[in-house]
Amino acid sequence: MSDPATPKNMRPSENLDAIVVGAGFAGLYMLHRLRGIGLKAIILEQAAGVGGTWYWNRYPGARCDVESMQYSFSFSEELQQEWQWRERFAGQPEILRYANHVADRFDLRRDIHFETPVRAAHFDDATGRWRITTAGGEEFSARYCIMATGCLSTARLPDIPGRESFAGKTYHTGHWPHEGVDFTGQTVGVIGTGSSAIQAIPVIAEQVRQLFVFQRTANYSIPARNAPMAPDYEQAWKSAYAERRTKARMMRTGILYPLNDTSALAVDPATREREYQARWAAGGLGFMAAFNDLILDRRANDTAAEFVRAQIRAIVRDPKVAEILCPKDHPIGTKRICADTNYFATYNRDNVTLIDLHATPITAITSHGLDTTGARFTLDSIVFATGFDAMTGTLTRIDIRGTLGARLRDKWEAGPRSYLGLMTAGFPNLFLITGPGSPSVLSNMMVSIEQHVDWIADCLAFLQREGLSQIEPRSDAEEAWVAHGNEVADRTLYPAANSWYMGANIPGKPRVFMPYIGGVGVYREICDKVAAGGYADGFLLSAGPARAAAE
Ligand code: NAP
């Protein structure tokens, strides 16, 4: 790899208005909108194709936990009418096909540079332009730099001693081989029981000779009840798409499902049980909307958590295994709740063994497999379903420097700081799509992506109209936003869990609740108000050196 400081190729990019980093759904729509407002833009993407998270996460069973009719773009009526989803919850291959369809349909590929990982983004105070350097040593420059880098895009391998010594094959769910993996006849270990593992384990179990699941923290999971798309359901959505999308945008999570605006503690136990049973039977993450205080009140939360534990005990035949699978150390929903297909029932199979790492922690990975304090496991393959350096990991791995060379990774050392999750003070014209400080991972990502992309595009169009070329948040506005985010989070049960929302899965990462929990609808109104006020509330606007240089 060449030194990014000495680019081997200078690109003739002085006429670029914007560089977007990442060709997932955020980057694709951003490019489309930038073209629409007459800006010249490109995307730099490290993968060989579009799709972001759906390009990388090809593990068996990978599937979205938001319904297909809602986990899709709404910006084009023709697109949403013409595209036909095959399942209630689309699997990874179908979502990736959709991403490719969007790229082709809107002729986006001609402005995407694939296999072009970004290593550095430096703001040049003299010209007011961002200089972007790639791993291959190419250099690009543009007035605006837009990070569409995703929230869960830096895979995390655990620091288990001996990891490199394993003689068999290792896989991370977030970097699954494109050609797939045939585990037939193998003894396989899966480390982790988060959303990815919970989807992968039932599928892998059907293939292997023996599966060992190494669980540190038990997780709540609701059956997805996935099924082929019912034509009348699809039709009901398509005939009222505009209206339903509008409603979804104002929901707390950006997902339209029946919200029961009652406290779990205000109803008698039989009514409560009926409500939970109905939602368990319906499947999917709407379970958490059974009552309005499940993430606010521990006693209300306990009723939902106990209901799920009772389901686990009813499904899993061995009571000891069932007990290990019952989550007890965090309130339900405070770690990302999972949606599964046959997850708990998989532990009834003769070829699946659950290892409780709380009782017998892993001591080492060896050449032959894995040792815990209780036993030695001989494995052919190890699957790391161990998650991501979420929300900030991808951004802080890029050498991002703002005015006077200040580094983003230094600024965020004690936790990410942004204004509205969209921009960060000291980094003019740098936009973050679904950045920390915005609802992002707590929401339907498609809704949040569209909202951010539209806000950014409208902001850039405003700058053009007003003859301005530079925008950045005021430090006091940023401080107030961070304080507000913390204050709202502290009113919920979320900070009670050692979750990746809190950075707790990465040793040494500051414990800060990173997304904004105030709700997608409330948040949209705040952002819209700032835009309607000409960005005077919290932002500094100027003609900037970029304009001066261009004149
Ligand atoms: P994750 O939720 O962070 O889960 C990682 C798992 O690995 C946890 O069970 C964790 O245990 C375990 N782990 C990590 N380090 C370990 C170690 N050293 N020893 C033993 N166990 C270890 O990651 P993920 O499952 O990839 O999911 C990440 C997020 O991606 C999800 O929360 C969700 O937002 C998204 N996702 C969505 C879908 C979907 O749409 N259906 C599917 C997959 C992922 P601890 O809990 O004890 O740390």
Pocket flag, ligand 1, residue 195 (CB < 6 Å):
yes
**How high is the pLDDT of residue 548?**
43
Q: Where are the domains of the chain?
A: 12-154+390-542
For the chain, which residues score pLDDT lower than 70? 1-14, 546-551
Ligand 1: distance of its center to the CA of 388 in Å?
A: 7
Nearest-CA residue for atom 24 of ligand 1: 387
For the chain, the first-to-last Cα distance in angstroms comes to 37
Angstrom distance (rounded) from CA 504 to CA 78: 42
**How high is the pLDDT of residue 545?**
80
Atom of ligand 1 nearest to the CA of 505: 48
**What is the amino acid identity at position 69?**
M
* Site of tokens 């606007």: 541
Nearest-CA residue for atom 17 of ligand 1: 158
**How high is the pLDDT of residue 11?**
53
Q: Is 231 left (phi over 0), alpha (psi -120 to 50) or beta?
A: alpha
Pocket flag, ligand 1, residue 152 (CB < 6 Å):
yes
For the four alpha carbons of 233, 234, 238 and 241, in that order, the dihedral sign comes to positive
Ligand 1: distance of its center to the CA of 196 in Å?
A: 6
**Distance, C-alpha 470 to centroid of its chain:** 29
**How high is the pLDDT of residue 201?**
98
SS3 214: strand
Atom of ligand 1 nearest to the CA of 216: 47
**How high is the pLDDT of residue 6?**
34
SS3 119: strand
The length of the chain in residues reads: 551
12-154+390-542 under CATH 3.40.50.1110, yes or no: no
**How high is the pLDDT of residue 515?**
96
What are the start-end ranges of the E strands in 55-209?
112-113, 118-124, 129-134, 138-142, 144-147, 169-172, 187-191
Task: Tell how strand 129-134 and strand 138-142 pair up.
Answer: antiparallel
- Put simply, whether the predicted model's pTM sits higher than 0.75 gets the answer yes
Pocket flag, ligand 1, residue 92 (CB < 6 Å):
no
